[in-house]
Amino acid sequence: MSEKRIGYYDQNWQEYDGWYNSHPAIYQSELNVLKKTIPSGVGLEIGVGTGRFASLLSARFGLDPSFHMLKLAKERGIEVVQGVGEDLPFKNESFNFILIVLTIWLVDNPLSLLKEAVRVLKRKGVLILGILDRESSWGKFYEQKAAKSQFYKAPHFFSPKEILQIFRDISVEFKAAFQTLLQPPPDIKNTEKPVKGFGRGGFVVLKAIKE
Ligand SMILES: C[S@@+](CC[C@H](N)C(=O)[O-])C[C@H]1O[C@@H](n2cnc3c(N)ncnc32)[C@H](O)[C@@H]1O
């Protein structure tokens, strides 16, 4: 990821974190879906940001390039490490689960980040990916928004089907998908219950196991 984009998150950490306060139904709905997939054991979130999700999903460790994002994640009880997901400073087979939420779309080389995630996962460990579905109204809404920003040259959101292909390429076995944000963007009125599968919701969580 370019220095410019890393700098963007580092400078705008307060605005980023505050967005969740003004969109409580989205935050709670996304949290509910992620909770369906979290196993027990030691977890790492790659691209932990301010720790909004990791701290409530019992992920002990969080990695991010942004110093200011990490400062808040640390205050939320996460053991933080500054770095990038494409070059993880951890030994092979260190974690029971790896969480990656709303991050792979903005890295330059998502495949190398995911390969690194698999490397540091224990055997039978769980990989959990939270994405905005490119084919949903939310994906289209945010892709257009990002394209207008000077920080994202060519935003590429993923579809769940693309992620399933990547899972095959990195030798993890797809186990389950859950979705939320069935109401249209830019906001939802009520917190939603998780729905199994994908194709209807804007936010999709895909769970896979390391073989
Ligand atoms: C959209 S935010 C998501 C933060 C958090 N996962 C959440 O959902 O609230 C993306 C985060 O990814 C981080 N990031 C950017 N490039 C990264 C990279 N190459 N490796 C790991 N994290 C990265 C950013 O600093 C930012 O905190």
CATH numbers and ranges of domains, the chain: 3-210 (3.40.50.150)
pLDDT at site 2: 59
Q: Which residue owns the Cα nearest ligand 1 atom 23?
A: 47
CA 123 to chain centre: 21
- Could you tell me the distance, in angstroms and rounded to a whole number, from the CA of residue 23 to the centre of ligand 1? 19
- CA 105 to ligand 1 centroid distance, Å: 10
Q: Which of 173, 170, 43, 47 is CA-nearest to residue 115?
A: 170
- Asked whether 136 and 201 are in contact (CB, 8 A), the reply is yes
Q: Collapsing DSSP states into helix, strand and coil, what is residue 133?
A: coil
User: What is the reported pLDDT for 154?
Assistant: 65
* Ligand 1 atom 11: residue of nearest CA: 47
CB atoms within 10 A of CB 137: 16
Q: What pLDDT score does 184 carry?
A: 97
> Which pLDDT score is estimated for 122?
98
pLDDT value at residue 155: 74
- List, chain by chain if needed, residues with CB within 6 Å of any ligand 1 atom: 1, 6, 9, 46-49, 52-53, 64-66, 69, 84-86, 101-103, 106-107
Q: Which of 42, 79, 52 lies closest to 63, judged by CA?
A: 79
Which residues have C-beta within 8 Å of that of residue 185, sequence separation ≥ 6? 137, 138, 141, 142, 202
Closest CA to 33 of 4, 53, 16, 62: 53
Q: What is the number of the ligand 1 atom nearest to the C-alpha of 65?
A: 25
pLDDT per position in the chain (211 positions), as tens?
Answer: 456 667 888 999 999 999 999 999 999 999 999 999 999 999 999 999 999 999 999 999 999 999 999 999 999 999 999 999 999 999 999 999 999 999 999 888 999 999 999 999 999 999 999 999 999 999 999 988 888 876 666 678 999 999 999 999 999 999 999 999 999 999 999 999 999 999 999 999 999 999 8
Ligand 1: atom nearest CA of 47 is: 22
Structure token digits, residue 84: 């990038």
pLDDT of residue 149: 76
Positive or negative: CA dihedral 138, 70, 97, 122:
positive
